[in-house]
Amino acid sequence: MKQTILKLSFILILFFTNYLVGQSISEEKLNLMQNSLLLGLEESGIKIAAEIISEDKYKSVKEKALFSIAEYFFSEGLIGTLDENTRLNKDNIQYLNRAYTFYLQLEKEFTQGIYFNIAQERIKYLELNFTTNLMFRSLANYVENERLIVEKK
């Protein structure tokens, strides 16, 4: 009887340890992504973000990863627009388009999420302030892209 309880306890400890480690691995991956972006290692940060967003094992941090990468592109795009001529550079257009795409994905996938309202406000801001300079689109929605291109022409 004691051995059975001991084995059961051991199995439960292993189960909960593995469960907790799985959670911490996701958080570690998210922290690695955020730190890479903060340290200027953009390529590495984007690769890690793509991994987090596309793999189910990181679903616990997917919303936070989408928001973090969208905010990164949003801030980088806006910083570049604040030059003395207040013109958009080509690089900044890419940043703002990427931010817009990630905000759309966040809005679509996490309608009850904690960042939903912020994503909606950012989308409105980008559409209101940069529509004439940018071709905003969701990179995942080709039909919508074609419609927007035709409307712009």
Selection from 29, 122, 36, 31 nearest residue 71 by Cα: 122
Rounded-to-5 percentages of helix, strand, coil across the chain: 80, 0, 20
Which distant-in-sequence residues (6+ apart) come within 8 Å of 23 by Cβ? Answer: 60
Tell me the C-alpha distance between 131 and 29, whole Å: 34
DSSP 3-state assignment of 138?
coil
Which pLDDT score is estimated for 6? 47
Selection from 49, 48, 47, 93 nearest residue 70 by Cα: 49
Number of domains the chain is built from: 1
DSSP string, 86-108: ----HHHHHHHHHHHHHHHHHHH
Domain region containing 26? 2-152
Tell me the C-alpha distance between 11 and 135, whole Å: 55
Which pLDDT score is estimated for 27? 87
Tell me the C-alpha distance between 59 and 43, whole Å: 22
Mean pLDDT, the chain cut into blocks of 10 residues (153 residues total): 52 47 74 87 92 90 93 85 57 83 92 93 87 59 56 58
Tell me the C-alpha distance between 58 and 29, whole Å: 8
The H-assigned helical ranges of 55-89 are 62-81
Tell me the one-letter amino acid at 101: T
Which pLDDT score is estimated for 151? 61
